[in-house]
Amino acid sequence: MYDELLQSAILAAKTAGKMIKDASRNKISLDIETKAKNDFVTNVDKASEACIKKILIERHPDYAVMAEESSSGKTIPPDRYWVIDPLDGTTNYIHGFPPYCVSIGLCEGIVPILGVIYDPTRDELFHAAKGQGAYLNGKPIKVSGCENLSDGLIATGFLFRDMDVMEQCLNCFKEVLQKCQGVRRPGAAAIDLAYVACGRLDGFWEQGLYPWDASAGSVIVMEAGGTVTNFHGGETYLFDRTIVATNSKIHFELQSIVQRFMPATFFQ
């Protein structure tokens, strides 16, 4: 049912991913612009976005596109639309610090129905479509069997723009850290979600994300047997900018901690 769409998204992600990797290997001069404090865009992000859009629009001219470097991420298109993060982990990329990736989702309203994430640093391609399971390099994946937060490895991302919630974030981090085996901050939200899906991580939470960071990863987590909600347990995580994704078994434990540190309406 989603075969043709998946093929297009995989082609776009791999083509852009190769271009991103080649650009880093060849050490072409990176042209870095500052969008906001600690928030960067490079010529490689822009070239990747152009490459992905060209492939998807040529193959599916009727679908709308929401892409990080050319959309606000606030208006929900009425019909199916692609959601593109042309380079997730730009700060990592600038520093030559893996991982970073390309993330392409397809959404209907606020629901992601298909997702592809390609990490060119490890040549790993994650994909899923609603009702069809989740895969890593073509092999089925599932979330971990971890039963308790105390046995879990958890990832997060720190806010770097909205410094006025720094205190809450650090307090939240402190509490999760005390209750699990360890917390990681890899630096690319799409990869964090993909790692929950394949069981390398047991859970992930972050505030301040946009739909392009989370759409592909969310459907991959859910198709691998995981659960994705906002900090308050609701399903509007793509646009409310708070997300918790887990192997399902530890969801309530993690979500009930993080919800205490972020008002439901903070980003609205």
Contacts with Ca ion, residue ranges (CB under 5 A): 68, 85, 87-88, 213
Identify what 203 binds: Ca ion, ligand IPD, none; CB under 5 to 8 Å per kind: none
C-alpha angle 56-212-164 in degrees, rounded to nearest 5: 160
The phi and psi torsions of 117 (rounded to 5 degrees) equal: -130, 125
CB of residue 26 vs ligand IPD: minimum separation in angstroms? 21
Contacts with ligand IPD, residue ranges (CB under 6 A): 85, 88-91, 157, 187-189, 206, 208-209, 213
Pick one of ligand IPD, Ca ion, none as the site partner of residue 17 (Cβ within 5 to 8 A by kind). none
DSSP 8-state code for residue 30: P
Residue closer to ligand IPD, measured from CB, 81 or 205: 205
Helices (H), the chain: 3-25, 43-59, 90-95, 166-179, 189-197, 211-223, 237-240, 251-258
Structure letter (DSSP) for residue 28:
P
Q: Supply 210's token pair.
A: 């946009």
Nearer to Ca ion, 102 or 169 (CB): 102
Helix (H) / strand (E) element for 249: namely none
Residue 122 or residue 174: which is nearer to Ca ion going by CB?
A: 122
Task: Output the smallest distance, CB 67 to ligand IPD, in A.
Answer: 11
Q: Which is nearer to ligand IPD, 207 or 255 (CB)?
A: 207
Q: Which residue is nearest to ligand IPD (CB)?
A: 157
